[in-house]
């Protein structure tokens, strides 16, 4: 038996997610340079090592899940390419150890591990994540970033993301620029067309919940329209808001995590609506310009209660029907 067969847990569902992520990773490298690829590979390595050591030294057995690769990639795609590598490593170790393994490993975690890691970096190292949001020059001519290694401390220029530009100065980014990713942002969240295609693919493969995705859109759009009518100026119109920041990426890849989302159909609807609604509340009234990360983590907290309430309601309804049928 090879090392991989002995220590690696095969998960077909995770491979489907990896396929959906591949075009986004490729574009990230094309747009940001080879540093994006190296940063992602390093995060995968440290995620694997962390889970492997935990399995062997603490749990005394078990295999490393393919899900840890997905976690590392999703975490990487939510980071600016300019983040120092040691900061990124600290975040992915925290993500796997405290976001997943301390709960007992794959399938037992309460919170989305990738977002646990990003929240750790966001809170502990706010300057590279918020104050100085750096964006490498756009590589538009072939071979683009595939032939460039970008050193952030030398080549990067500071620019505002579309969300910050709107919130701070009222500037509106062109829809086409938002759709095709030619805007400042983190490594994997800018090219919205690819994210939409990935959503269709994941729904077709029955890997990601369309109820969660649609619930996110309903909660986000409904509350945006309400606040727009109330005159809240810190929020863009629904279409621009959906295309700004990490909302689409989070709705497709993070909120649909089968472990930390709703386990019942109604629970998935409620989870998605919660995520979309909380995102808008944070964007409109909190200090944070985004909100999707915290919205998903907050919804992760409440979804076990929601699922319990849904299941109890079904039991009571079934019991009433049985009594009525006697």
pLDDT, tens only, 136-171: 455 666 666 666 666 544 444 455 676 666 666 666
Place of tokens 């590598």: 85
- Cα–Cα distances in Å, from 63 out to 2, 37, 68, 75, 296? 13, 26, 11, 21, 28
Distance CA 223, CA 64 (A): 41
Give residue 322's pLDDT.
Answer: 73
Distance CA 151, CA 32 (A): 11
Judge whether 23 and 197 are in contact, CB under 8 Å. yes
Give residue 181's pLDDT.
Answer: 76
Give residue 164's pLDDT.
Answer: 67
Distance CA 106, CA 108 (A): 6
Q: Which residues contact 79 (CB under 8 A, 6 or more apart)?
A: 39, 88, 91, 118, 121, 129, 186, 187
Residue 58, CB-side half-sphere exposure with 13 Å CA sphere: 12
Judge whether 235 and 243 are in contact, CB under 8 Å. no
Q: Which residues contact 192 (CB under 8 A, 6 or more apart)?
A: 178, 179, 180, 181, 243, 248
* pLDDT tens per residue across all 326 residues of the chain: 566 666 677 788 999 999 999 999 999 998 888 889 999 999 999 999 999 999 888 877 778 889 999 999 999 999 988 899 999 999 999 999 999 999 988 888 999 999 999 999 999 988 777 655 544 455 666 666 666 666 544 444 455 676 666 666 666 777 887 888 777 778 888 889 999 999 999 999 999 999 999 999 999 999 999 999 998 887 888 898 899 888 999 999 999 999 999 899 999 999 999 999 999 999 888 877 778 999 999 999 999 999 999 999 888 888 887 777 65
Give residue 4's pLDDT.
Answer: 67
pTM over 0.85: yes
């Amino acid at each position: 038996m090879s090392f991989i067969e002995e220590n690696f847990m095969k998960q077909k569902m995770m491979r489907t997610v990896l396929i959906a992520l591949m075009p986004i990773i490729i574009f990230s490298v094309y747009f940001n340079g080879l540093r994006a690829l190296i940063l992602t590979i390093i995060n995968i390595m440290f995620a694997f090592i962390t889970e492997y050591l935990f399995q062997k030294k603490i749990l005394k057995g078990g295999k490393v899940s393919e899900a840890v690769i997905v976690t590392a990639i999703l975490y990487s795609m939510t980071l600016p390419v300019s983040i120092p590598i040691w900061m990124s490593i600290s975040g992915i170790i925290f993500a796997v150890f405290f976001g997943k393994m301390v709960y007992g490993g794959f399938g037992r975690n309460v919170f989305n591990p990738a977002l646990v890691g990003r929240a750790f970096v966001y809170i502990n190292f706010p300057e590279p994540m918020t104050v100085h949001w750096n964006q490498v020059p756009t590589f538009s001519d072939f071979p683009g970033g595939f032939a460039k290694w970008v050193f952030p401390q030398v080549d990067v220029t500071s620019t505002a993301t579309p969300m910050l530009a709107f919130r701070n100065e009222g500037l509106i980014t062109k829809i086409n620029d938002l759709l095709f990713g030619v805007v400042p942002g983190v490594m994997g969240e800018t090219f919205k067309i690819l994210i939409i295609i990935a959503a269709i693919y994941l729904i077709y493969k029955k890997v990601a919940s369309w109820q969660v995705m649609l619930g996110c859109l309903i909660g986000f759009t409904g509350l945006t329209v309400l606040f727009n009518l109330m005159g809240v100026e810190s929020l863009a119109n629904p279409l621009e808001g959906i295309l700004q920041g990490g909302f689409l990426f989070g709705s497709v890849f993070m909120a649909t995590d089968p472990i930390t989302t709703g386990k019942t159909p109604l629970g998935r609807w409620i989870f998605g609506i919660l995520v979309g609604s909380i995102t808008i509340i944070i964007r409109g009234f909190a200090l944070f310009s985004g909100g999707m990360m915290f919205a998903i983590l907050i919804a992760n907290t409440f979804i076990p209660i929601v699922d319990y309430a849904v299941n109890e309601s079904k039991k009571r309804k079934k019991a009433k029907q049985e009594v009525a049928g006697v």
